[in-house]
């Protein structure tokens, strides 16, 4: 999928909403680290999007563009 804003190929992954650590994004194929820390997420090339606890545990397919920081849900 191409970024609608800058045309760069977007990275496929998932956004996870977590009761314990907030909102984060991980690339396709990466598993949630056992200990969710900034470094663990960084090591998986993921992004920490918010540290406030999310109301429920959710997982959503989500594409990101690192060039312009755009994000797109597939739906």
Please report, as ranges, the residues that interact with Zn ion according to CB under 5 A: 3, 5-6, 8, 65, 67-68, 70
| Residue 5: CB minimum distance to Zn ion, A | 5
Of 21 and 65, the one with the shorter C-beta distance to Zn ion is: 65
Of 54 and 63, the one with the shorter C-beta distance to Zn ion is: 63
Q: Is 43 helix (H, G, I), strand (E, B) or coil?
A: helix
**CA–CA gap between residue 64 and residue 26 (Å, rounded):** 10
Residue with tokens 């977590």: 18
Of 11 and 21, the one with the shorter C-beta distance to Zn ion is: 11
**CA–CA gap between residue 59 and residue 6 (Å, rounded):** 26
């Amino acid at each position: 999928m191409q970024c609608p804003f800058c045309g760069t190929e977007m990275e496929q992954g998932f956004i996870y909403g977590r009761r314990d650590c907030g909102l984060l994004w991980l690339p396709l194929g990466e598993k949630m680290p056992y200990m969710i820390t900034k470094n663990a997420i960084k090591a998986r090339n993921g992004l920490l999007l918010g540290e406030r606890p999310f109301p429920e545990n959710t997982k959503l397919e989500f594409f990101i563009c690192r060039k312009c920081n755009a994000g797109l849900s597939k739906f």
